[in-house]
Chain A
Amino acid sequence: MGLFILRRLGVMILTALCLTFIVFWLTNLAPNLEKLAKTQGNARMSDEAVTSYLANRGYAQPLPVKYGQWLGVLPGYVIEGSDGGLRARCAGPGESVADAATFCGILQGDWGNSTVFKDEVGSIVATRLGLTGKLMLCVMLVMVPGALILGVLAGMREGSRTDRALSTVSIISTATPEYVSGVVFISVFATATFGMNWFKGTATSAMENATFENFLLPVMTIALYGMGYIARMTRASMTEVMTAQYIRTARLKGVSFPTIVLRHALRNALIAPFTVIMLQFPWLLNGVVIVETLFNYKGFGWVLVQAAGNNDIELLLGVSVVSVFVVLITQLISDIGYVFLNPRIRIS
């Protein structure tokens, strides 16, 4: 078990390094840097001015060196610019070059500065992540019990009408991407078009004060898309368990049907959905970006769109690191959890 976790951790760190390097490379391509220089400096800069602007700020160094500095394993640059100014990577605005630390990167907890929000990336990511965490918590509270109940009820008696009806519901929910259900929800429940103006169509006010009225629609929009998939996996797992030998034994002993489902089948049927729920996180991240854009909820997904749309390199890198780690850690938990929950693997 320990060796397994160690190996998984090693692969995870390697993956994270590769992915962040790819993001770093893509955001540091020449046209992106030129755009950065022109938005930060002067929109009508000449080509030479762009080159010297970038060189003075350390962007002209070789890519692996820049990546190492950003990561914090190589010492940050100290460059005497062509305009005579001395600039150091680790010297923040208003700090003198001499006082600056040698290393400043992700590993030292220095995430750089956002050009759009004029703030430190670390604090932006932390606050926005907190807001998204609130949203995700509500989504999980709706989605997981809903999906499990749907799946267990459908899988309890395979082929029955209840099964057919509930399976159709879960197929419909998997076929409804967030931007479709969000638009439908808003136009039905937040406008006067159908006379059901019950909820708010934006969730901006939910950032400080989440109420039923302004938070239900975004939560339902994300939960609906993921729910169908988890429900289908639960149903498949449940039908498989219900045909197992020990269930037949229990029935022949005369155990009542509800007892069989609750005491004998449920525990084993919930192993597979656990991994599926964990693996849903990357998709939920997608949903979060769409829903936060649609409902104007300024969380992590909204920041991603802002950073990518405005070529805010350091913020985009920070956002990518966090999202990549969220995905990888959930994968790790799903792997470990599967081993842990499954008695056949755990005991042997």
Chain B
Amino acid sequence: METLTWTGAVGVFLNPVLGMAAALFAVTLVAQLVLGFFAPALTLQSNADGTLAARGGLLGTTETANKYLFLAVLVLALAYLIIPLVTPYGTVGIIGEMSQRFLPVWIALVVTFGASIRFKRHLGLYGKLFDSTVGMIGFGLVMFWVFTAVFVGLFDMIATHDYLSQVSGLKNKIPGVPVPEGIAGAIPHYLLGGDNLARDIFSRVVAGSTFVIAIAPLATVFAFMVGITLGLPAGYYSGRLDTILSFLANLILAFPVILLFYLLVTPEIVETGIPSYMAAFLFAFPMIFFGVLLNSRYYTQPAKRNLILVPVLGILGWLYLSIINQQGTVIDFLPTWLDLFDISILVVFVSVVFVNAPTVFRIVRGLTLDLRTRDYVAAAQTRGEGAWYIMLWEILPNARGPLIVDFCLRIGYTTILLGTLGFFGLGLSSESPDWGSTINEGRKLLLIYAHPALPPAIALLSLVLGLNLLADGLREESLKD
């Protein structure tokens, strides 16, 4: 087996063309930016005969050239991804083979985008996202990693090798290195090379996506539950309750995050059981939230309320007990057959929720302070609705816009936090394929071998960037109406 090059046979023809197009694009882009400072802020000019013309002159020409050059670069870049799907193995280089490995993700993405754009007028805010280019790019990046996580985690599809198995002789080998005969794997190459322990970097990076995609949104949901349940009454009642809760929130926020992690996520602290008690406290909030939410709505019809509330609280309570009940920690009372799952990284999960909750609290409190003076709140108060009904069914739905945007941003921030934990080797095992730990592994030999640390870094960057762009698109679209 030969070592794969980056672009293979396709690149012989495509590389020079793409290089030229990209260089031209860069030149016109700079020219346009410079010219833009001196040009009038017009996009359309009216002619004497009553028609409209696009901006002419030098700037107009560069803008048009820019547009077509950008399209050319885009099409050429796509060619690198599409050509390999129809050519045999080994002819299209590393990029081509990676694209082939991601085939299920491409199909899922095309289906999602096709269906969403076709029905976008019936899909509310989600549909409006497809009117904004920025939002679509962000959504695409996020969904790329979501689908990757799903296909790797549930169907075991994209990864080429076992992310833990070490192959002797492949330690720190460059991307595209062939794997010796007789080693199990979907393809006979390490696409992105081997890491310090001779494991396949490509497989580790895609396996790491399952960790982030599973933990980050869930931790953010928990942080939102805590923040909403405490922020609504703080903003609605104000007064002493608000003073105390705000003081506590500011207290946590004044803590440097890394110091907090170093204090909380150590084996000694886990031994004392503090994370378990914190979990017992923080994870109770979803139950409180849904309990109050449903009770405040249906308490006038006790029969109906009980019918809804009992199963909801039953399931949530069971999940709650399963989460906080950990074998070998201070909270370990459930019999094994009742305990659904043991989360090995409970301490990581708890500290991430703990760090995020105060910020959510402050946002919700601020929104509530603003919304409680509205007329519909006064109308509800006049109707004699309870305080919790007003908070949860009148104020909260009207605060959803900024909260959805912040939710996207916060998932990105949580991803960064999880990476930070991994980077300092806190709470995660060194075997763990998550991106932070992999970057931490790779940075130790960074000056000699750069290739092991770069793929997880770029993966993390693209996911967080996608979430930020998605939030930006959502904000723009939700402000339009």
Which chain A residues have a beta carbon within 8 Å of chain B's beta carbons? 11, 14-15, 18-19, 23, 26-27, 29-32, 35, 157, 160-162, 165, 167-168, 171-172, 174-177, 179-180, 183-184, 186-187, 190-191, 193, 201-202, 282, 285-286, 289-290, 293-294, 301, 304-305, 308-309, 311, 319-320, 323-324, 327-328, 331
- CA gap between A294 and B447 in the complex, in Å: 11
A175: chain B residues at CB < 8 Å are: 412, 461, 464-465, 467-468
A301: chain B residues at CB < 8 Å are: 258
B63: chain A residues at CB < 8 Å are: 161
Q: A175-B464, A191-B450 are in contact. Are A324 and B255 (CB under 8 A)?
A: yes
How many A-B contacts at CB < 8 Å in the complex?
Answer: 144
For B237-270 the 0/1 string (1 means CB < 8 A from A) is 0000000000100110111111100111010110
A184 touches B454 (CB 8 A): yes
B458: chain A residues at CB < 8 Å are: 180, 184
Tell me if B439 counts as interface (CB < 8 A to partner A).
yes
Q: Can you name the residue of chain B whose Cβ is closest to the Cβ of A16?
A: B254
Nearest first, the 9 A-B pairs at minimum CB distance are A187-B450, A308-B262, A31-B268, A175-B465, A193-B450, A175-B464, A180-B457, A177-B416, A179-B423
B269: chain A residues at CB < 8 Å are: 26, 29, 31-32
Tell me if B443 counts as interface (CB < 8 A to partner A).
yes
- CA gap between A18 and B262 in the complex, in Å: 18
Q: Tell me the smallest distance from the CB of A156 to a CB of chain B, in Å.
A: 10
A282 touches B254 (CB 8 A): yes
Q: What is the interface of chain B mostly: helix, strand, loop, or mixed?
A: helix
Tell me if B33 counts as interface (CB < 8 A to partner A).
yes
A183 touches B439 (CB 8 A): yes
Q: Can you name the residue of chain B whose Cβ is closest to the Cβ of A202?
A: B447
B318-364 interface (Cβ within 8 A of A) = none
A311: chain B residues at CB < 8 Å are: 268
Q: Can you name the residue of chain B whose Cβ is closest to the Cβ of A174?
A: B468
A183 touches B442 (CB 8 A): yes
Could you list some 24 contacts between A and B, CB below 8 A? A26-B264, A31-B268, A31-B271, A32-B269, A160-B36, A161-B33, A167-B472, A168-B134, A175-B461, A176-B464, A177-B464, A179-B419, A183-B443, A183-B446, A183-B453, A187-B453, A191-B446, A282-B253, A285-B256, A294-B443, A304-B258, A308-B263, A324-B254, A327-B254
Q: Can you name the residue of chain B whose Cβ is closest to the Cβ of A311?
A: B268
- CA gap between A347 and B434 in the complex, in Å: 54
Q: Tell me the smallest distance from the CB of A185 to a CB of chain B, in Å.
A: 10
Q: A286-B257, A327-B256 are in contact. Are A183 and B465 (CB under 8 A)?
A: no
A19 touches B254 (CB 8 A): yes
- CA gap between A319 and B423 in the complex, in Å: 21
- CA gap between A26 and B416 in the complex, in Å: 25
- CA gap between A180 and B459 in the complex, in Å: 10
Known: A162-B37, A176-B465, A327-B256. 20 other contacts (CB 8 A): A11-B247, A15-B251, A19-B255, A26-B264, A29-B272, A31-B271, A32-B268, A162-B36, A171-B472, A179-B419, A179-B457, A180-B419, A180-B439, A180-B461, A187-B446, A191-B448, A282-B256, A286-B420, A304-B262, A328-B254
Tell me if B469 counts as interface (CB < 8 A to partner A).
yes
A183 touches B457 (CB 8 A): yes
Partner of A190, one of B412, B416, B447: B447
- CA gap between A172 and B469 in the complex, in Å: 9
For B160-187 the 0/1 string (1 means CB < 8 A from A) is 0000000000000000000000000000
B255: chain A residues at CB < 8 Å are: 19, 324, 327
Tell me if B451 counts as interface (CB < 8 A to partner A).
yes
B450: chain A residues at CB < 8 Å are: 186-187, 191, 193
Tell me if B226 counts as interface (CB < 8 A to partner A).
no
Q: Tell me the smallest distance from the CB of A308 to a CB of chain B, in Å.
A: 4
Tell me if B41 counts as interface (CB < 8 A to partner A).
yes
Partner of A304, one of B254, B259, B465: B259
Tell me if B90 counts as interface (CB < 8 A to partner A).
no
B460: chain A residues at CB < 8 Å are: 177, 180
B443 touches A29 (CB 8 A): no
B140: chain A residues at CB < 8 Å are: none
B424 touches A293 (CB 8 A): yes
A305: chain B residues at CB < 8 Å are: 262, 424
- CA gap between A180 and B454 in the complex, in Å: 8
Per the CB 8 Å criterion, the residue count for chain B at the interface is 53
Tell me if B32 counts as interface (CB < 8 A to partner A).
yes
B403-443 interface (Cβ within 8 A of A) = 412, 416, 419-420, 423-424, 436, 439, 442-443
B122-149 interface (Cβ within 8 A of A) = 134
Q: A29-B268, A30-B272, A290-B420 are in contact. Are A187 and B454 (CB under 8 A)?
A: yes
For B385-416 the 0/1 string (1 means CB < 8 A from A) is 00000000000000000000000000010001
Partner of B263, one of A26, A35, A331: A26
- CA gap between A324 and B446 in the complex, in Å: 33
Q: Name the residue among B41, B257, B263, B460 with the largest chain A CB count within 10 angstroms.
A: B263
Q: Tell me the smallest distance from the CB of B51 to a CB of chain A, in Å.
A: 24
Q: Can you name the residue of chain B whose Cβ is closest to the Cβ of A180?
A: B457
Q: Name the residue among A187, A309, A324 with the largest chain B CB count within 10 angstroms.
A: A187
B419 touches A177 (CB 8 A): yes
B456-480 interface (Cβ within 8 A of A) = 457-458, 460-461, 464-465, 467-469, 472
For B17-48 the 0/1 string (1 means CB < 8 A from A) is 00000000000000011001100010000000
A15 touches B254 (CB 8 A): yes
- CA gap between A15 and B249 in the complex, in Å: 11
A171 touches B469 (CB 8 A): yes
Q: Tell me the smallest distance from the CB of B380 to a CB of chain A, in Å.
A: 32
B446: chain A residues at CB < 8 Å are: 183, 186-187, 191, 201
A309: chain B residues at CB < 8 Å are: 262
Q: A177-B420, A179-B419, A193-B451 are in contact. Are A320 and B259 (CB under 8 A)?
A: yes
Q: Name the residue among A26, A27, A290, A309 with the largest chain B CB count within 10 angstroms.
A: A26
Q: Tell me the smallest distance from the CB of B472 to a CB of chain A, in Å.
A: 6
Q: A15-B254, A19-B251, A177-B419 are in contact. Are A27 and B263 (CB under 8 A)?
A: yes
A15 touches B250 (CB 8 A): yes
A331: chain B residues at CB < 8 Å are: 254
A32: chain B residues at CB < 8 Å are: 268-269
A162 touches B464 (CB 8 A): no
Q: Name the residue among B33, B257, B457 with the largest chain A CB count within 10 angstroms.
A: B457
Q: Tell me the smallest distance from the CB of A224 to a CB of chain B, in Å.
A: 12
- CA gap between A204 and B306 in the complex, in Å: 66
B256 touches A176 (CB 8 A): no
- CA gap between A191 and B442 in the complex, in Å: 14
- CA gap between A211 and B213 in the complex, in Å: 41
A23 touches B443 (CB 8 A): no
